[in-house]
Structure 1
Amino acid sequence: MSKIWKFTSFATISSVAAASLYLYAIDKNGYYYEKSKFKQVTDRVRKLIDGDETFKYVTIDDFVSGPTQIQTRSRGETFKDLWNAEVRRTAQWIYSLGGR
């Protein structure tokens, strides 16, 4: 039984991996692979390493035209906001389970 289970598991995982590779990279001339963020980042890094593209250095002056007032909040308020967002997200997830 153990050998059959191992073979079935291996065959299933291999089939899923092969189907995913085919649908992602080969089908439709690799449309999804060519449009993926992974490929865009890889190409950009390759160009930077090869010297075909250069960094554009930016400073804060590129974003801000004049004096700006910055309002800061306490760390406690920030953690409260994060906590509340997580509680809301968890509650929405729990309620979404009942709607099925």
Structure 2
Amino acid sequence: MTDKQYYNLVQTLHECMEACNHCYDACLKEKDMTMMAECIRLDRECADICAFLEQSLTRNSPFASDLATICAKVCGACGNECQKHNHDHCQNCAETCFKCVEACKEIA
């Protein structure tokens, strides 16, 4: 991985983690939380795997490529779920998740 790819991926992972955490928090404040349950769950999963991969990259983990594959899968699932909801926070999260999928695929 080049330095540029590394820094781009770390930044993208951090942005995705932040977007997922924001979406998670905003979903908890929605009136129909039952409808948002899967979005909330995937927001947490996605934020956690993005943070874990970011840490693994900074430690030069030999498992980073494998983790990037998993991260891309989780981010894709989160993006697909968020895309179903019309809330601005969900749409922003979906866009950020799909950007993260592409960044992860570059090193997977």
Give the TM bin, normalised by the shorter chain.
under 0.3
- Greater helix share, structure number: 2
Q: TM-score, normalised by structure 2?
A: 0.26
Between 1 and 2, higher relative CO (CA 8 Å, sep ≥ 6) is seen in 2
Greater Rg, structure 1 or structure 2?
1
User: What's the TM-score, normalizing by structure 1?
Assistant: 0.27
